[in-house]
Amino acid sequence: MAATDAPPVPGAAHPRPRTRGKPFWLLGALVVLVALMFASITIGSREVSWPDIVAALSGSAEGFDQSAVAKRIPRTLLGLVAGAALGLSGAVMQGVTRNPLADPGILGVNMGASLAVVTGLAYFGLELATGLIWVAILGAGATAVFVYAIGSLGRGGAAPLKLALAGAATSAALASFVRAVVLPRADIADEVQSWQIGGIGGGTFDLIAPVLPFIAVGTALCLLSAHGLDLLALGDDLAAGLGAHVAAARAMASLGAVVLCGATTAVTGPIGFVGLVVPHVCRLLVGVDHRWLLPFSALGGAALLTAADVVGRIAARPGEIDVGIVTALIGAPFFIYIVRRQKVRSL
């Protein structure tokens, strides 16, 4: 293993160290992301001519086609921001728990944020620009602590399969609570039902602006945790022996991940599997050093969510498939593959 690479997540694949190829992969990721951004703006459920596309990109929104293209711009931006946040938070959660199955959706964190959002809407009349994002972050944080505590019980501590099962059970319970909150409120039922699928089709600049400061803070916390995550991969005892403040490093990284997935869920609804798939793919490309893995996971998450949104528009023309459904179709088989490949220990 190269000196620049930290040990991998226990139970995860052991990719060959790659040092010289990392700038190449970075350039390739940026090129792919730019191409997907262009595709997201130009391709939709409705065919639009090139003159209308050029006019819309120039700021014109006079005709119906130009207006359709103009609406894709904030939608694309929301996909980039949300995908980057989910990919980054998933990589951090896998590093904090040393669990190859960690993901905001699998661990129930997204559903905890969802319950908090629905409760805020139904009983407190909160709005996105005021308190709904804070409520989502608190719900995500409380759920993350609960799932980790449950998964840590018994022999072997927080084993990957135990955490996944605890997260699945918690998600099921929280989903029932969400339905219990929504059923008596017919005035918000349709809106919440559509939001729970997870999508970025309603993205506007007014919707994106309030969440950007939270995304910036969460991203900064996660990136600043890269060295600490490398040390945590060695095990708590060895990390402490090397001078790391284990509890502080884990707390800062976890806080960043919770802020990212909570804020994103408040805007897009619960979108699963991005945080599971992307870090594993990025680990194969750039190794396990979190100084590289975290930025690449953010780029990969942005690319995956943008691509999934484009696929959803094309696959069901003239309608659309919400991006949360597309990522589930991709991520569920990948989750099964990871479980079988890792041969996770039984309870």
The predicted model scores a pTM of 0.88
Task: Give me 235's structure tokens.
Answer: 């095990």
Name the nearest CA neighbour of 304 among 142, 128, 103, 167: 103
What's the pLDDT score for residue 139? 96
For 195-210, give one letter per residue: b (16+ CB within 10 A) or e: bbbbbbbebeeebbeb
Using one digit for the tens of pLDDT, what is the confidence trace for 278-307? Answer: 999 999 889 899 999 999 999 999 999 999
Per residue in 226-271, pLDDT tens?
A: 999 999 888 888 888 888 888 899 999 999 999 999 999 999 999 9
What is the reported pLDDT for 17?
Answer: 45
What are 19-48's pLDDT values in tens digits?
Answer: 567 888 888 999 999 999 999 999 887 788
Q: Average pLDDT, whole number, for the chain?
A: 86
For the segment 91-124, what is each residue's pLDDT rounded down to a tens digit? 999 999 888 888 898 899 999 999 999 999 888 8
Domains of the chain: 22-342 (1.10.3470.10)
Does pLDDT of 9 surpass 70? no
Give the model confidence (pLDDT) of 193-203 as tens digits. Answer: 888 889 998 88
CA distance 159 to 85: 25
pLDDT at 100: 83
Alpha-carbon distance values, 228 to 72, 220, 234, 295 (Å)? 39, 14, 10, 15
In angstroms, the CA 324 to CA 330 distance is 10
